[in-house]
Amino acid sequence: MSSTPPPPGDREKIVSKLPAPLQQELKVRTAQHNLDIQDAVEAGISAWSGLGSNLPSIDTAGAKAFSTWLPAGQWDNFKSACRARGVPLVQGLAQSVSTWLQNNPAPGVQRPAIVKRFVVCNQKGGVGKTAVTAGVGQALAESPEQLYPVAISKHFAIARTSADPAADVTAVEQLPGPGLRVLLVDFDPQGHLTKQLGHELLHLDGDSLTKHMAGEAKGKLEDLVVAVEDDRFDDRLHLLPSCTDAFLLDVKLSGVRAREAALERALSPIESDYDVIIVDCPPSLGLSMDAAAYYGRRRDAESLGNSGILVVVQAEDSSADAYGLLTNQIDDLRSDMHLELDYLGIVVNHYDARRGYIATSSLDSWMAIRDPRVVGLVGDLKEQKEAVRVKQPLLAYAPQCPQSLALRALAREIA
């Protein structure tokens, strides 16, 4: 145990020991409260020093090295207090940290007043809508009691000069998972989201989302929902699988009353079970896309940006053409139905600067769009393809990879 001269700001570095579980709990709790560890330890020592009696002993066997910065003089005063109370210094520090933890319980998960509804779309197929849908959902459902690496750089231009899309990540911050209850809706008849997460498509002769939207339901929609299994999600991440009958959805919707609201009517019975519902749309501009866009509209008393359209593109010309078609459809819906329909932003997916001028110049073009703006840049790396092959969630398969870090950042940006 030692101390070093105080740095600027009149603090000194102290080195001691603390049980590893207590260190981890302190690390998570301070992140949950958006505090520095040094401030928590300072407050804990002050609170412990003011107690009128000693606390029950804490098991400090196997304590690991621990260091932080405290106000000049506090550590010396603390050592004197430990001697006066007959408490070993490591035990006193453990009790001080425990005191702070008890005085600052974990904050509850911040749940939206109105369920967030993210509609992930682009008329062009193959841009990675499904990967973005799954990744954002996973990131929002991660445990609030664990810390996860999140990319905090937004300097997208850095990535343009590197063969590695991860070069944009100039810093990584360890943050608690949001802990939200998330439903992923596979709205694409091809069922890529369902298959990638290791589930089977619903039977054609059974119940389905299509049947609920067309007024042909055979049971409750909640009975079709399945869990995406992994300890980090702890039953917070669910999936509504696709069914191939969705290929007929536009035909069925043509005869449905108020067809634009068909998806909302189908999902409304289960909305209260979730904080976020993310719809993975098919590459279509038909009636099904109208229903999906309508579902993402801003409702009465809903805050701006709580829900809306998330457009996934690639850094190449055909994505730009498809983007124009999609935005025209959105504009028509806005004007024809007088909808308050917000864009959550643009995600440039599968980006790889090694593809040269086409990729880098296309990224420049996307970045030049200010409304909606680019809110995420996700690299084209092998981990996503590997996760799809083994039918595992990316954030469980490769939680530290650059794609996972970027998807966590995107989730926090739009949520």
What does the block give as tokens for 348? 């440039």
Cβ atoms of residues 228 and 393 within 8 Å: yes
User: What are residue 215's phi and psi, to 5 degrees?
Assistant: 75, 25
Rounded distance, CA 198 to CA 233, Å?
A: 15
- CATH code for the structural domain at 116-414: 3.40.50.300
Question: What pLDDT, on the 0 to 100 scale, is given for residue 380?
Answer: 86
Regions of the chain short of the pLDDT cut 70: 1-9, 153-170
Question: What pLDDT, on the 0 to 100 scale, is given for residue 225?
Answer: 98
Residue with tokens 């940290």: 97
Question: What pLDDT, on the 0 to 100 scale, is given for residue 2?
Answer: 43
The pTM (predicted TM-score) of the whole model is 0.88
Strand, coil or helix: 353: helix
> In sequence order, what DSSP letters do the residues of 118-176 get, joined into one string?
EEEE-SSTTS-HHHHHHHHHHHHHS-TTSEEEEE----GGGGGG-S-GGGG---EEEEE
Question: What pLDDT, on the 0 to 100 scale, is given for residue 368?
Answer: 85
